[in-house]
Amino acid sequence: MRIIAALIIISFTFAGCSGFSKVQKSKDYEYKLKMADQYYEKKKYNFAQQLYEELFPIYKGTDRFEELYYKYAFCTYYLSDYLSAENLFKSFVEVFPNSKHSEEMDYMRAYTYFKQSPKVELDQTNTTKTMGFMQTFINTHPGSARNKEASEIIDKCRIKMEMKELKSAELYFNLGQYKASAISYANLMNNFPDSDKSDQYKLQIIKSYFEYATLSIEDKKEERFEQVITEYHDFIDRFPESKLLKEAERYFTSSQTNIKNLKNEQIKKAA
């Protein structure tokens, strides 16, 4: 039964290709355009795209060209060629600035960058571009119904960018590079001041400086434990209601104890 089913699928595939070949060889441009539109409606975008591309020079400059261009651009998008689709959406707006589709195409140009936004661990250039182009779209089309979705996409991108910076800070901490970790978490707080994880980041700054102080040479320990105390006071000023307050206080208390012990040692040595 499986073999029969496979043969049926293959036969339909060849039949489809054979039918397309006949359309492609036709010199009747109206017929080819009609078939291209049919392929497009049936979501056979590969066939539709090839026909639209062949018809470009035929219909360029006519009143049919705008819709042809519109569907051709979307064929490219639906075939996941986002780099080419971005260029086509951009060009469409430039060629047809007053088109009823221009707002949609402007949005889709920004959206292609979102589709190219990679996993958190990878380079986030396209994520940054998505945010920029989506914000430009909102500014350019203040009354658009798409602005809500554009704003949501910007938020998603911002979360991804925050996660990338967080992973970098976590890596520094896990590798024992505590000063770099503290700086990374501080940058994270500055870059994402509205994050709901800000108190967690601040606690990590305290932890990082505490570990940095603990591993320091004797002459540097006191000033570095003082840094922990400074960061703790900043923590309680910013997050007086945080659930992490008690944990932060433990590092504060331990730092005070370490400073006291260091001073006692200094007194003993001086005696």
Query: What is the set of domains in the chain, with CATH numbers?
Result: 176-271 (1.25.40.10)
Q: What is the pLDDT of residue 19?
A: 84
pLDDT score recorded for residue 6: 44
How far is 175 from 170, CA to CA, in rounded Å? 9
Q: Are 134 and 148 in contact (CB under 8 A)?
A: no
Asked if 134 and 110 count as a contact pair (C-beta separation under 8 A), the reply is yes
Alpha helices in the chain (DSSP H): 2-25, 29-41, 45-59, 65-78, 82-95, 102-115, 125-140, 147-174, 178-191, 198-214, 218-238, 245-270
| pLDDT band, residue 271 (cuts 50/70/90) | low
Region of poorest pLDDT, from 3-7, 70-74, 83-87, 195-199: 3-7
Rounded to whole angstroms, the Cα distance separating 113 from 90 reads 12
Q: What is the C-alpha to C-alpha distance for residues 24 and 48, in angstroms, rounded to an integer?
A: 10
Q: What are the tens digits of pLDDT across the range 96-133?
A: 999 999 999 999 999 999 999 999 999 999 999 999 99
pLDDT digit string, tens, across residues 136-186 = 999 999 999 999 999 999 999 999 999 999 999 999 999 999 999 999 999
The whole-number pLDDT of residue 270 equals: 73
Q: Would you say 33 and 55 are in contact if contact means Cβ atoms under 8 Å apart?
A: yes
For 224-236, the pLDDT digits (tens) are: 999 999 999 999 9
Place of tokens 């260091």: 262
CA distance 216 to 196: 32
Which residues lie below 8 Å from residue 30, measured CB to CB, with a gap of 6+? none
Express each pLDDT in 188-216 by its tens digit: 999 999 999 999 999 999 999 999 999 99
